[in-house]
Structure 1
Amino acid sequence: MAHLPRPRIAASIAAVAAIALLAGCTAESEPRETDAAGQSVTFWTPQTTPERLAAQEAVAAAFTEETGIEVEVVPMAGADQDQALVTGAASGDVPDVILHASSQTGAWNSQGLLDTEAAAATVDALGTDTFNERALEAVTLEGQVAAVPSDGWTHVIAYRADLLEQAGVDVPASVADLAEAATTVKEKLGITGLAFGTQAGTASATEGIQSIFQSAGCELVTDGEVTIDSDECTEAAEHFLELRNSSVAGDFDVTSARAAYMNGDAAMLLFSTHILDELAGLDPANPATCPECASSPTFLSDNTEFVTVLNEDDPAQYGAVLSYGIPTGANVEAAQQYIEYVLGTGYVDTLASATEGRIPLRNGTADNPSEFLDAWGELGIGPAHEKTSAELYGDEFVSGMADGINAVYLWGMGSDDAELAGLVSSQGILAGQIEQLYNGTSPADVTASMKQAVEEVQAGL
C-alpha cells in the first residue's frame, strides 16, 4: 500500500532477534515430551460455527491420539473471553490455551493474565524465523513475545478486470491511484468505482477509514504523540472522500458494499479475504447476483482479480492477527505441546476450518520456509470446500496473498500505543468524525478534529 516509511518497533525487533539467537537455528523441533498421565488441555476458540468447531475438534482428537493428552474445545466469542478470563484468573480456574485477537493480547498482558515466558519459549521451539514478522511484532510487548501467532486475514481490493479495461484505467498501485481509478469508473461507466464501508459512525466506516488511511502512509499515533493530523493523514482524508464519492448508491456498510459488487454494480470492492468463496458462488448464504451470474455462476470469479498489496515498497495491509495465548496458571507443558501440534502437524487441518479467513501466520518450517502458505492455496474454500483458491484465482493470486498477509498491519500494534489505538477503533472515534468530511469541512480541519477526539481518549488512559 502507499505507506511512507514509518519507525519500526525497535523493542519488538530486538526481542525477536534475541529469541532467534537463543534458538541457535530454526530447525523444526520435535514435539516436546510430556507425561500424558492425567494431563489435559482446555482450549477456548472464537471460531464457533458448527463446521469450524467440528474441524478444530478433529485436530484436537488427533493430538490426543498422538500424545494421550485430552483436549476440551470450548467455543467462546472474543467478547466473552475477556470477562471469563478475568473471572477465571480470580478463582484460579483458567483455560490452558486461548485463540484470540492481537488487541486482547495487549489488554491481557497489561493485566498480568498471560504467561509470556511460556509463549516465547513456544515460538522459540517452533523457530522464530518461520513466523510472519509483522505478526510477531503485533504480539511483542515490552520486549517480550506474549502470544504465539496462528492465522489472520487482510483486506484485499477485488476488481472487475473487464470493467477497468472498459473504463481505460490501470490497476491501482496506491491509494491515490485507487481514488483516481474509482472516480474515472463512475464518470465513464456510471457505476460505483469502489464499494466499501463509509457510513459515518459505524463499525464499517471504522474499518474503511483505518484501511485507507494507513494504506496511504498515515499513522494514528507514534511514540505516544497523536499524528492523525499529519500531512499524510490529511491527504488520506482527501482520497477517502474521493473514494466515498465514487459511489452511485450512497454510503455503504459491509453488507451493502459486498452486495453492490456481487450485483455487478461496482467495479471494485474493498473487503476481507472472506469474499473469496462468495465470488465463486460457493456460499449459498451470499450468492452472486450479477446479471451474467444466472447463466454463468463463476462469472464474477472468472472476471475478478485482486490487489493484495498496495505500495509494495512499504505495505501496511489492514487485517487481523489471531494468536494462541497461555494464561498465567495454565498447564504450561501440555499447552505448549498442543500449540506446537496445531502449528505443526495439525496446522493445515486447522487452517482448513475456515480457509478464506484463516491465512497462516507461520509461513513454513526451517526446511521449507513457505510450506504452510503454499498449502493454504491448495485448501478448499467455502462451506463445502469444493474448490481451492489456486484453482479459482491462480497460483499468482496465492503468491499475492502471501505478500498481503506478510504485510498485515494495525495501528499501534506491538507498541506502547496499542491500547490507545485499540480503544480508538473499538469506540469508533474516527468514524464519528468522518461526516464532517462529507458535509464540506476541509480534510485538514477534519483530521484536526480527529486528533482532538483521539487525544481525549488518550487523556483518559
Structure 2
Amino acid sequence: MRMWALRGTRAVAAVVAAALGIGLLAGCAGTQTRTGNSLTVWSEENLPARMAATEKLIGVFEKQTGIKVKLVGIDESQLPQLVESAAAAGKLPDVMGGIPLAPLWQMYSNGLLNTDATAKVLDGLGRGTFDPNALKLTADGTRQLSVPSDSWQQVLVYRKDLFARAHLPVPDTYDSILKAAKTLDKGSMSGISLADDPKDVFTQQSFEDLAVAENCQLVTADGKAALDSPQCRKAFTAYQQLAATGPAGTQTVDTTRATYQAGQSAMVVWSTYLLNSLAGLRDDVLPNCPQCKGDKTFLSRNSGIVTAIKGPDGATPAQFGEISSWTVTKHANAPAAEKFIRFMMSTGYEGWLGMEPEGKIPVRDGTVAAPKKYVTDWRGMKIGVDSLQPMDTLFPASFLDQLLAGVGNMQRWGITQGQGALVGATEGTLPVPQAIGSMTGGDQLSPDSAARQADSAVSALQKTLL
C-alpha cells in the first residue's frame, strides 16, 4: 500500500534521524551537474509488479529518446538514510518518483532539489492541467518543488443501507458523524471503526483527517506548535466520543478494515486503498459480512464515501491525503530528467496511474488539447489484486466524482507552513497517536489533556530539529 503507515506495514522511525542529520550534508558534496545520455531514477513503487510496469514504460521512453534509464526501487522506510548517504557522497539520483510530501519538503529545505528544472517541466505540460491544490501543496510560494503525480486520500466509508433505514443524513460533519455513530452503535454493530493504536502513524493520519475539518493545525502560521488550540481540543473530544462507539480494544489499520468488512461497523475511516478489498478483489481480505457470503459485492454496492468533512469551526470541508511527486535532484542531468518526467506525466501517465488506480488518483486532469483525458480514462481503469474489475463498473459515477474532487479538499498539517521536516519527525516519533492511545485506552486521559500532551511533545520535537 502507498501510505506511510500502510505500504506493506513499513516503519517510518528513520525519518527522525534524517531530519536531524541531512541538513549537515546538503552542502558537503562537490558533485558537478551531470550530463550525458543516461539517467538514474529512484522509485518508491518498488513492489515487483510495479517495478515491472515502470520498466515497461521506461522501455518506451528509451526507444523514443535514446536516453538510457537505470531504475532503482527504494523502500520508503529506507528513504531518509538513502538520501542522507547519497547527498553526502554526491550520488543522488537524477530523478525520484513516488515521493510523499514530508520527505519532499525535507529535501527542499536542505537544498537537494533542482526547482528550475521542475518549473520547466510544469510550464511545458501546462500548469493549468494540474489540480491547483496539488500544486499548492508541492510549492513554496511561487517556487514549485516537484511535479505532483497522483494522490491517495483518507475517506470515511459508511453503510448507506443502515443510514437509510435509520433516516440518517450523509455523515459529512462532526454532528452528523457523531449522531450516526451513537445511533447505530447497538447489538453486534459498532458505530465506527477508528484507529487508536499509539504505535502506528495510521492513527495520526485518521486523526488529522478529522482535525483539518475543524481547522486544528499542527503548527501556527509562524511555526509554533498548535495542538493545544480550542479547535484541536474539539477534534480530540470528537475523536474520543467516536472511538467510544467502536469495538473494544486497540484498533489498528488491520482491525478497522476487518470490522467494517465483517459487517460489524457502520462506518470506517480508511484510505482509498480500501476500495479493492471492499469490492472483493483481494482474496486475503475478502468482505465476510453475513450478506457477503452470497454476494461479495454487497458492501461495495451498499457503501457510501465521504471525502471532505466539516467541523464546527472549519471554514470549508477538508480531508487528509497524500500527494506523490516526481523530483529532479540538485546535480541531476537536468535536460534528460525533464524529458523523463514530461514523458511519465503524459505518454506514460496512464500506465503509472494504472498500477493501483484507487491509490493513484490523478492530479493532472488532462492535456492542453484534451483537458479531461486522464480523469476520464482513470474512471475505467481496473483495480484489484487477485481479480480485476474496472472502477466504473464497481462504483457509481458520483462515487468516483468525489474521489477526484477530494484532491482539491486535501489539507496537510505543517506542509504549507514550511514544516515538512517536523511533519516527517512526528510520523517517526508518533506524539499524536501516543496521546490518542492514552485518551482512548486504559489511561483515560481527557481530550484536553491529550491535546496538551501532544502539543508539548511536538514543541519538544521542534527543538531537536533546530
TM-score by length of 2: 0.86
**Partner SS for 1:226:** coil
Deviation at 1:149, TM superposition (A): 0.5
Partner of 2:132: 133
Contact 2:36/2:333 (8 A) holds in 1: no
Partner of 2:372: 370
Contact 1:194/1:243 (8 A) holds in 2: yes
Distance, in Å, in 2 between the alignment partners of 1:406 and 1:441 is 35
Report the CA distance shift for 1:353/1:201 in structure 2 as closer, same or farther (over 3 A): closer
Distance, in Å, in 1 between the alignment partners of 2:333 and 2:414 is 31
Say yes or no: does 1:41 pair with 2:39.
yes
For 1:316, the aligned partner's letter is A
| Unaligned ranges ≥5, structure 2 | 1-34
Distance, in Å, in 2 between the alignment partners of 1:435 and 1:294 is 34
Partner of 1:83: 81
**Partner SS for 2:216:** coil
Partner of 1:407: 409
Deviation at 1:299, TM superposition (A): 1.3
Aligned partner (choices 66, 69, 72) of residue 68 of structure 1: 66
Partner of 1:24: none
Aligned partner (choices 422, 428, 448) of residue 420 of structure 1: 422
Deviation at 1:385, TM superposition (A): 6.4
| Unaligned ranges ≥5, structure 1 | 1-36
Partner of 1:57: 55
Deviation at 1:130, TM superposition (A): 1.6
Distance, in Å, in 1 between the alignment partners of 2:451 and 2:208 is 13
Aligned partner (choices 433, 436, 454) of residue 434 of structure 1: 436
For 2:425, the aligned partner's letter is L
Report the CA distance shift for 1:170/1:190 in structure 2 as closer, same or farther (over 3 A): farther
Report the CA distance shift for 1:347/1:425 in structure 2 as closer, same or farther (over 3 A): same
For 2:130, the aligned partner's letter is F
Say yes or no: does 1:110 pair with 2:113.
no
Deviation at 1:142, TM superposition (A): 6.1
Contact 1:63/1:341 (8 A) holds in 2: yes
Distance, in Å, in 1 between the alignment partners of 2:133 and 2:123 is 16
**Partner SS for 2:285:** coil
Partner of 2:359: 357
Partner of 1:290: 289
Report the CA distance shift for 1:429/1:95 in structure 2 as closer, same or farther (over 3 A): same
Deviation at 1:252, TM superposition (A): 0.9
Deviation at 1:221, TM superposition (A): 0.8
Distance, in Å, in 2 between the alignment partners of 1:418 and 1:104 is 7
For 1:355, the aligned partner's letter is P
What does the per-residue CA deviation read over 1:164-195, in whole Å, with 9 as the maximum and x for residues that have no partner?
223332211213321221111104x5411111
**Partner SS for 2:284:** coil
Partner of 1:266: 265
Report the CA distance shift for 1:313/1:234 in structure 2 as closer, same or farther (over 3 A): closer
Contact 1:48/1:76 (8 A) holds in 2: yes
Say yes or no: does 1:453 pair with 2:457.
yes
Deviation at 1:368, TM superposition (A): 3.5
Report the CA distance shift for 1:378/1:89 in structure 2 as closer, same or farther (over 3 A): same
For 1:394, the aligned partner's letter is P
Q: How many residues align?
A: 424
RMSD (Å) for aligned C-alpha atoms: 2.0
For 1:278, the aligned partner's letter is S
**Partner SS for 1:271:** strand
Deviation at 1:271, TM superposition (A): 0.7
For 2:455, the aligned partner's letter is K
Contact 2:125/2:342 (8 A) holds in 1: yes
Q: Matches of residues 331-346 of structure 1 in structure 2 within 5 Å?
A: 331-346=333-348
Distance, in Å, in 1 between the alignment partners of 2:349 and 2:331 is 26
Partner of 2:217: 219
Deviation at 1:340, TM superposition (A): 0.5
Partner of 2:123: 124
Deviation at 1:143, TM superposition (A): 4.4
Distance, in Å, in 2 between the alignment partners of 1:81 and 1:444 is 35
**Partner SS for 2:93:** coil
Distance, in Å, in 1 between the alignment partners of 2:94 and 2:147 is 13
Distance, in Å, in 2 between the alignment partners of 1:251 and 1:436 is 11
Aligned residues with identical type, % of pairs: 30
Q: Using the TM superposition, name which of 168-177 and 312-321 deviates more.
A: 312-321
Aligned partner (choices 318, 326, 329) of residue 327 of structure 1: 329
Distance, in Å, in 1 between the alignment partners of 2:370 and 2:174 is 34
Partner of 2:395: 393
Contact 2:213/2:316 (8 A) holds in 1: no
Deviation at 1:49, TM superposition (A): 1.4
What does the per-residue CA deviation read over 1:110-149, in whole Å, with 9 as the maximum and x for residues that have no partner?
2221111111221122112222222222221364211111
For 1:328, the aligned partner's letter is K
For 1:457, the aligned partner's letter is L
Deviation at 1:408, TM superposition (A): 2.1
